[in-house]
Structure 1
Amino acid sequence: MSDSKLKKVLVGVGGGIAAYKVCEVVSTLFKAGMEVRVILTNSAQKFVAPLTFATLSRHRAYTDELFWRSSNPRPLHIELGEWADVFVIAPLTANTLAKLACGIADNLLTNTVLASKCPILLAPAMNTEMWEQHTVRDNWEKLLTDSRYHSMGTASGLLACDRIGAGRMAEPAEIVSHVYSLLHTAGERDLFGKQVLVSGGGTREYLDPVRYIGNPSTGKMGLALAQAALHRGAKVTLVHAPVTWELPLGIEAIPVVTSEEMQQAIMLYLQIADVIIMSAAVADVKPRQYSKHKLPKYRLPDSLALEPVTDIIAEIARRKQPRQKLVGFAAQTGDIVTPALEKLQRKSLDAIIANPIDQPDSGFGCDTNKAVFLDRSGQKIEIPPCSKLKMAHHIFDFL
């Protein structure tokens, strides 16, 4: 993120095999221009050496030995606690979880938690049986009643103990994205209790089982919107066309292919949504006839008969309640504002995001974007080039 310079992220590493994944977290944050400091528990040092984290963060790593022998004028845990903008604990072990839930401070990591005020992101990792123990679940639920703590949850899959089940630590990219969000919001959950419905990706309208009418949308903007809403406390449903990226933890994902399938899925969740953001690139037309078998080349028509598909966002606008906000996207070339304003009025949207697809580092497939936010009250706010996650947060800020 271009505005991440001078942001300070403190990473606490617990004693679990997933500690090796935290190397990627630290490296990514440093490359993004952030200052990173790392605390290792004694158990963590048995999995990854302090020198590894010192090299990746370009700063010495902190251990209990340094804590107890520190000759600093001020206590080390106080300095680190006051220094951090965001505190990440990964992997969060059952042992450290129990200490945090009970307010125990018997090492540098737990002392620093109690000496800090910044948001704390928790990425637990442990064996399935351990994760599902009543005492562990009680500690987890107790800890999350404190608004300082933000949860990554755990994934399911093959664990280091060869068990297949819950308990895997979130992937480094997910942890990094959540850190970006916390740096933007300072941990505020302004969407808590809200239901956010997002569409993303490009629909496909098939001529036969192989050929289709489509577009280059990758769904990255929809993913960013879903992540931003989740990180701000919302319950999120993402209806997405075919994508290549893995879906993050905590988001209810509904995969679809065609515009008709997307319409059906969205209408199923429409009534419970407080905010609906239509970032999907939905087809405007589809082949009039569909062949169940692949057409040989010689049977392809010289001209393809087309028919319009249902205008999903217009249908939503007709059905939406006064309490709901409906936001659309307008991907344009050339003048992006005039057609977006026309679409805003014609489809009775509350707001629209106009973004160029004919400029470098913007539009389909890019990790970055730029846009103009327009709403019915007359606001016109330019969003400068930034990551799509940052843009998603700007959109929720404006809403």
Structure 2
Amino acid sequence: MDAPRRVLIGISGGIAAYKICSVISSLAKAGLAVRVVLTQQGQAFIPPLTVATLARHPAYTDENFWQATQGRPLHIELGEWAELLVIAPLSANTLGKLAHGLADNLLTNTVLASTCPVLLAPAMNTDMWQQQAVQRNWHQLLQDPRYHSIDPGSGVLACDRIGTGRMAEPEDILTHIHSLLHSGGRRDLVGKHLLISTGSTREFLDPVRFIGNPASGKMGMALAQAALHRGATVTLVHGPMEESLKARLGGIQTVSITTAEEMHRAMLTNLPQADWIVMAAAVADVKPATQAATKLAKADLPQSLPLAQVPDIVADLSQKRSPHQRLIGFAAQTGDIIPPALDKLQRKGLDAIVANPIDVAGSGFGGDRNQAVLLTQAGDKLPIPPCTKLEMAHQIWDALLKAGF
């Protein structure tokens, strides 16, 4: 069996430390090897016993600083052991130390003794976060390519201040962790602007009835997140999505639409600045020929429903794109997924297409996992076995980069 991936979590002082407990627990339950280092201030909020229990491994504090492991200092052992280092919450104090290369405790010494990517999730009072010195330290630190960030969010803070300073939510931290474990911290999409569509469209018969499909938008969201974590600028055009999913799109420019015609306009409007265009949305093929302005009574519903065509978004994008732009489609299929995907690849003038089965358990609409086959115009064929949608997104980006897109 493959050795488990190795994540070192650093906890500095802040009430947001409670949020990292669910991250530690989720990683350990998923089979990853997790180690935790607490600063003295971090221990004031979370006891070492708590994180040790969640990580299934003793926690480290400054009391262990000079503890020798097989004759070597602990911070050296931990720094060499980690594949990824996560500091959450990142306090203003620890941020200042990292920005200036200072090391006066176990955590900061371990950072300097490591070479792996470091993910930072700041958390502090709004006025502290907005101080010029703190912002200067933050931007200075992020000039180092080792450091990756999840900016703090806005809301009501524990100090009752309303503003920016909330640590990122555990789900977003976990997503970024898995992205960095896959990419190793590579920013191989820097300089690219990706235009991605996702979710379903709704074509209304009246204000309460519509033709639609079960697409949740999770696959396109995963594509957008994976691209963002690898340095791309991302515009996501999405159909109706759950509010909990929308809340996880920080750092991504979003355009919310409902109908196929609205998606058509949004994709064409944002087309000029895109390098890669990815049509992951499940767009309706037809709509009711007429739409009632008020709810139809049951007795007034038509016995047969006249239908009208909606715009062929992929075909229009293919015709109007510039030579340097790459167009990637999706094909959700039942049965043998390859022939219809190859037909769509050629007929629509795509550069690549991702064919995924929707009649196989654990893949397709609504779930967190998927599987697919990536086909390119050059004849490449990459099977993507069952995995999380985030992992599938990374494999798609890997394959397209390898193919020279």
- Number of aligned pairs? 397
* Contact 1:4/1:32, CA 8 A, preserved across alignment: no
User: In the TM superposition, what is the alpha-carbon distance from 1:71 to its structure 2 partner?
Assistant: 6.9
Q: Secondary structure at the match of 1:272?
A: coil
1-structure distance, mates of 2:2, 2:326: 30
- 1:178-257 correspondence to structure 2 within 5 Å: 178-244=176-242, 245=245, 246-257=247-258
Give, as a single letter, the amino acid of the residue that structure 1 aligns with 2:258.
V
1:316 aligns with 2:317: yes
Amino acid at match of 2:302: P
> Matched residues in 2 for 1:5 and 1:199: separation?
36
Please tell me the residue identity of whatever aligns with 1:13: I
Q: Which residue of 1 aligns with 2:337?
A: 336
1:248: how far off? 2.7
| Per-residue CA distance 1:198-224 (angstroms, 9 max, x = gap) | 111011111111000000001110110
CA shift at 1:68, angstroms?
3.9
- Distance change in 2, residues 1:98/1:4 (3 Å): farther
In structure 1, the residue matched to 2:81 is 83
Change (3 A) 1:5 1:171: farther
Q: CA, structure 1 residues 77+294, in 2 after alignment: closer, same or farther (shift >3 Å)?
A: same
Instruction: Tell me, yes or no, if the aligned pair for 1:25 and 1:172 is still in contact at 8 Å.
Output: yes
- 1:4 CA drift (Å): 8.4
**Residues 1:356 and 2:357 are matched in the alignment:** yes
Residue 325 (str. 1) matches residue 326 (str. 2): yes
Look up the match of 1:28: 26
CA contact (8 A) 1:154 1:166 kept: yes
What SS does the aligned partner of 2:14 have? Answer: coil
Match of 1:50 among 48, 51, 71: 48
SS across alignment from 2:236: strand
On the 8 A contact 2:66/2:74 being kept in 1, the answer is no
The CA distance in 1 between the partners of 2:326 and 2:162, in whole Å, is 41
Question: What is the TM-score of this pair, normalised by structure 1?
Answer: 0.98
SS in 2 for 1:43: helix
One-letter identity of the residue aligned with 1:130 = M
Aligned residue among 169, 172, 184 for 1:171: 169
* Structure 2 counterpart SS, 1:6: coil
Query: Structure 1: any 5+ residue segments left out of the alignment?
Result: none
CA contact (8 A) 1:239 1:265 kept: yes
> Which runs of 5 or more residues in structure 2 are unaligned?
401-405
- For residues 189 and 278 of structure 2, the distance between their equivalents in structure 1, rounded to whole angstroms, comes to 14
- The percent of aligned pairs where both chains have the same amino acid is 62
Q: Structure 2: how far apart are the matches of 1:297 and 1:317?
A: 42
Superimposed CA distance per residue, residues 332-353 of structure 1 (whole angstroms, 9 cap, x where no aligned partner): 0001000000000000000000
Give the aligned residue type for 2:349.
S
Q: TM-score, normalised by structure 2?
A: 0.96
TM-superposed deviation, 1:157: 1.0
What SS class does the counterpart of residue 304 from structure 1 fall into? coil
Deviation at 1:5, TM superposition (A): 5.4
Q: Give me the whole-angstrom Cα distance separating, in 1, the residues matched to 2:387 and 2:303.
A: 43
Contact (CA 8 Å) 1:4, 1:34: kept in 2 or not? no
Q: Which of 127, 147, 150 is residue 148 of structure 2 equivalent to?
A: 150
Q: Is 1:376 the counterpart of 2:374 in the alignment? A: no
Task: Supply the distance in 1 between the matched residues of 2:248 and 2:83 (Cα, whole angstroms).
Answer: 27
Aligned-CA RMSD value = 1.2
Kindly indicate whether residue 290 of structure 2 is the aligned counterpart of residue 285 of structure 1. no
Mapped to 2, the partners of 1:236 and 1:347 lie a distance apart of 23
Secondary structure of the structure 2 residue equivalent to 1:88: strand
1:391 counterpart letter in structure 2? M
Hey, what's the Cα distance between the residues in 2 that align with 1:171 and 1:237? 22
Which amino acid in structure 2 is aligned with residue 346 of structure 1? Answer: R
**Alignment-derived partner of residue 269 in structure 2:** 268
Question: Residue 229 of structure 1 aligns to which amino acid in structure 2?
Answer: A
